[in-house]
Amino acid sequence: MASLLNIIATDHNFYTENKDEGLNYTKYLSQKYVKITDTNKNLIWFLQISDIHISIFRDPGRISQFQQFCDNTVKNIKPNIVLATGDLTDAKAKDNLGSSQVKKEWIYYYNIIQESGVTSDTIWLDIRGNHDNFNIKSINAQENYFRNYSVQGKTYPKSYVHILNENGVKVAFLGVDACPDPGIRRPFNFIGILDNQEQQHLQKLKLEAESKADHVVWFGHYPTSCILSLERDSQKLNLRHLISNAKGSQVYVCGHLHSMGGLVPQMYTIQRKGFLELELGDWKDNRMYRLAAIDHGIFSFVDQKHNTWPVVLVTNPKHALYAMPGREPLTLIRYSTHVRILAFSDVNIDTVQISYDKINWSECKLVETALYVCQWEPDLFKNGLHYLYVMATDEIGRKTIVDHPFSLDGSNLQFKVVPRILLMLDAGGVFQTLFGTLLMVNILPLVILRFQKRPPKCRRSIANKILRRIWLLTKIDRVFYPLVLYVLYIPFGPWIVGELIDGYIGVVFAWGIVIRGSYIPEPFTYMYGSVQLMFVHLPLVLVLAYCLEMRLFGQNLRGVKRVLKNLPFIFLLSIQLLLAYFYWLEYGTLAFIFGPLRTWSVFLNILLWYKTLTLPPDYCSIVVSAQIIHAKAIRSSSIGWDVKYQAGNMKTVAHNN
């Protein structure tokens, strides 16, 4: 727990740890921008949209409302840049399990952008996501429609940098493409990978960005927690270190996690090296987009629901939670003369007002385009945390009220724990740890109980009963050894041999994927194996232990009663058959036939269940004899069994056999 808390800690001070570097940089920015006043100089803003998932099979609203976004939202906000951070198309089959590039979806994406004319008013920077890389044998493959139907794909098929020099602000927008090459079909295409060539390319882009811009905005599809860097010359590039070491780096914006299905709507954190990482909720289901600005070197942002107006963003004073000491000139806020607010609507803005107590409101004046300013006295807010309230009203009466915490002495707020875990841990390491833990859980208890001569005891009767059932199961060689050997096979043997990419046979192991002579260390395989261990194998042990008890000590049941007694196994078998069916939909018939992890285990489990229910009398006698030897430990008060009753039933079982 201490290690976990240390990994996700955000209370370290980058400015203190890198005093000379941070002091020199912020001093340079302070001298460049001089003072924050009421002019529109030294201000740029941009939009981000992510996980659009244009689909021809489901939810046509994604397409129609994306067209509204281009036709209406972008043209009313008039950003300098629009970032489209991956998963531009859905690339999923009608059954929602198969995956492949669908040309018609890319044509929709291309036509919407072209017909809206959005690229004539702003710069559109798009980059690939994992869905845009499904079933692509190489970056140059004909099926890689990103090259021909995206805005930047023809010029920049992978990572690239775009320099913006506008209104006195020089910003480098550096896109990180971490899509694996080749790109196999789902689900083994969840983690991004930076190979040696791409790492070298990113190093060059970083140097270019540092030399030409004062600020660097990094963008990509995968969060840094979901990107694996391969070793190069016994070293590997860590994207977080690369971002933090770039002069002027302030933020990394991404998508991919879809706000965990809307459960974590504000997935933000500040990484240990002092830069912000901001995951944006998806367009696919939640229709979210982000408005961000750099005002006199200070970064601000707000996430907004589509067609919710007015949109309000306070750029001065800076939001207390997102302050980055050493990476932005926060001292300028203390000496600023005006509160600065960006406000947009699809109609005219009527009024923008501010208050510090929600009682006395002051009206802001429009400077130019969308910038509203109001004089303030920062000396009144020198100490502690304060709140600025902004109320914007448009001409048709729609109103937006924003609560904006700020501080001038470094007082800050804490990021929530769940977003920090999701963005600051290493997803591959988490998957591998979970997989290893479940391996131990599925092997060690069986082995330990196997060598115990006496049945274990627990205080709780339910746990006691379960443990004694499993203890009995471990004494049956023909069940125990297959259960243990299957679990030992999982981390070493192949799981799938099939057509992972159209026309190419690949092999999936726990530790990675081999296809087309390439090795892809996809860590999501560990999560896939964890599902098998957690929801199939572990319940199987409990079900077989229950079946053994029914065989040894139950009555000779027939008809409906017998079916009811076997309902747990029938339910488990249904789950397993469903998982095997998904296997077939995802990777085809060959993978279904040569699929030890899913398909073969179905037959293994049926065989074990059958062997358990049809144990011959001599096996039953040995187990019951062992039970009678320790009869004192199996009193009816602790387990609910009566030894004489067991022996009587055993005679019945032997007679029937």
Q: For 198-209, what is each residue's pLDDT tens digit? A: 999 999 999 999
Q: What is the mean pLDDT of residues 288-315?
A: 96
Residue 547: what pLDDT? 85
The enclosing H or E element of 518 equals: strand 518-520
- 162: which strand partners? 173
Pick from 236-240, 547-551, 566-570, 620-624: least confident: 620-624
Domains of the chain, earliest start first? 17-32+43-424 (3.60.21.10), 427-656 (no CATH)
Q: Residue 130: what pLDDT?
A: 95
At 142, list the tokens: 């004909």
Record the tokens describing residue 503, joined without a space: 């026309």
**pLDDT level of residue 560 (50, 70, 90 thresholds):** low
pLDDT value of residue 539: 93
- The pLDDT mean for the chain works out to 87
Place of tokens 């070298």: 200
Local confidence band at 477 (pLDDT 50, 70, 90 cut-offs):
confident
Phi and psi based region of residue 324 (left: phi greater than 0; alpha: psi -120 to 50; beta: remaining):
beta
Q: Decide if pLDDT at 642 tops 60.
A: no
pLDDT score of 550:
78
* Cα–Cα distance, 246 to 651 (Å, whole number): 79
pLDDT, tens digit (0-9, with 9 covering 90-100), for 135-177? 999 999 999 999 999 999 999 999 999 999 999 999 999 999 9
Give the whole-angstrom CA distance, residue 102 versus residue 132: 10
Q: Would the pLDDT of 118 be above 90?
A: yes
The pLDDT tens digits for 342-401 are 999 999 999 999 999 888 999 999 998 899 999 999 999 999 999 999 999 999 999 999
pLDDT tens column, 351-360: 999 999 888 9
Q: What is the pLDDT of residue 411?
A: 85
The predicted pLDDT at position 40 comes to 92
Residue 596 in this model has a pLDDT that exceeds 60: yes
- Specify the pLDDT at position 410: 85
Q: Is the pLDDT of residue 81 over 80?
A: yes
Interval 286-315 mean pLDDT: 96
Instruction: Tell me what pLDDT residue 650 has.
Output: 43
The helix (run of H) or strand (run of E) holding residue 302 is strand 298-305
Tell me if residue 642 falls in helix, strand or coil: coil
Average pLDDT over residues 469-488: 90
pLDDT 10s digits, 10-57:
666 555 555 556 678 888 888 999 899 999 999 999 999 999 999 999
Residue 229 CA to residue 388 CA, distance in Å, equals 42
pLDDT at residue 555 tops 90: no
